[in-house]
Structure 1
Amino acid sequence: MAKVYEFLANGFEDIEALGPVDVLRRGGLDVKTVSISGDLMVASAHDVQVKADMLFEDVNFDDADLLLIPGGMPGAKNIDEHEGLRRALVAHAGKGKLVGAICAGPMVLGHLGLLRGKKATCYPGFEGELDGAEYTAAPFTIDGNVITGKGPGATLAYAYALLGQFKGERVVEEMKKGMMYY
Structure 2
Amino acid sequence: MSKALVLLSEGCEETEAVTTIDLLTRAGIEVITASITQEREVLCSRGVTILAQKSFAQIIDHQFDVVILPGGVKGAENFRDSIQVIEKLKQTHDQGHLIAAICATPAMVLQYHNLFPHAIMTGYPTTKSSFKHWHDDRVYYDEVHRLITSQGPATSIDFALKIIAVLAGNSKAAEVASQLILPTGIASYSN
TM over 0.5: yes
User: Where do 5+ consecutive residues of structure 1 fail to align?
Assistant: none
Where do 1:66-105 residues align within 5 Å? 66-105=66-105
Change (3 A) 1:115 1:17: same
CA drift of 1:137 comes to 1.9
CA drift of 1:68 comes to 0.4
Output the CA distance in 2 between the equivalents of 1:174 and 1:2: 17
What's the secondary structure of 1:119's corresponding residue? coil
Q: What is residue 181 of structure 1 aligned with on the other side?
A: 182
For the 8 Å contact 1:93–1:114, the answer to whether it is kept is no
Where do 1:110-125 residues align within 5 Å? 110-125=111-126
Q: What is residue 170 of structure 1 aligned with on the other side?
A: 171
What's the secondary structure of 2:159's corresponding residue? helix
User: Where do 5+ consecutive residues of structure 2 fail to align?
Assistant: 184-191
For the 8 Å contact 2:20–2:160, the answer to whether it is kept is yes
Q: What is residue 137 of structure 2 aligned with on the other side?
A: 138
4+ residue runs of structure 1 moved beyond 6 angstroms? Answer: none
Give the partner amino acid of 1:149: S
Output the CA distance in 2 between the equivalents of 1:129 and 1:96: 25
How many residues get paired? 180
Output the CA distance in 1 between the equivalents of 2:41 and 2:62: 24
Output the CA distance in 1 between the equivalents of 2:100 and 2:134: 15
Q: What is residue 24 of structure 1 aligned with on the other side?
A: 24
For the 8 Å contact 2:60–2:88, the answer to whether it is kept is no
What's the secondary structure of 2:73's corresponding residue? coil
Could you state the TM-score of these two structures normalised by the residue count of structure 1?
0.94
CA drift of 1:37 comes to 2.8
CA drift of 1:95 comes to 2.1
Give the partner amino acid of 1:135: W
Could you state the TM-score of these two structures normalised by the residue count of structure 2?
0.90
Give the partner amino acid of 2:12: F
CA drift of 1:94 comes to 1.8
Q: What is residue 47 of structure 2 aligned with on the other side?
A: 47
What's the secondary structure of 2:50's corresponding residue? strand
For the 8 Å contact 2:99–2:148, the answer to whether it is kept is yes
Output the CA distance in 1 between the equivalents of 2:47 and 2:81: 21
Output the CA distance in 2 between the equivalents of 1:120 and 1:31: 24
CA drift of 1:61 comes to 4.3
Deviations 1:109-152 (A, max 9, x none): 1122223111110001222333x3x1112110000200001111
What's the secondary structure of 1:10's corresponding residue? coil
Give the partner amino acid of 2:139: F
